[in-house]
Structure 1
Amino acid sequence: MEGLEQGLLMQPWAWLQLAENSLLAKASISKQGYALLISDLQQVWHEQADTLVVSQRAKVRI
């Protein structure tokens, strides 16, 4: 999963406009899985999942 974290660090931040807030977001997607960071500049939300977790969430067998 280290590759996902490194890929995430290399990505630029993007503005995510919602109805009531503006957030900053960045994502990295690879053959290993994905990593996501979202921030409202007060808090940061991080999610990371490898391909096994993604497959389980999608209810797809490997």
Structure 2
Amino acid sequence: MKILIVADEESQYIWDHFDPERFKDVELILSCGDLKAAYLSYLVSMIHAPLLLYSRQP
């Protein structure tokens, strides 16, 4: 299983140079950090994988 893990900073590579072939085998997106909803929505719509959000509350 391939998992794309993203956290804290948006990747300009993914935003500006998205290559569907590079992400074709991703089965899950894991987000841990402060990312904009628009960025996460973009990842889900482009990669077609479910998103799991992790947030640790003190």
Indicate the TM-score class for this superposition, using the shorter chain for normalisation: under 0.3
Give the greater-gyration-radius structure (CA): 1
Higher strand share: 1
Higher helix share: 2
TM-score (norm 1): 0.23
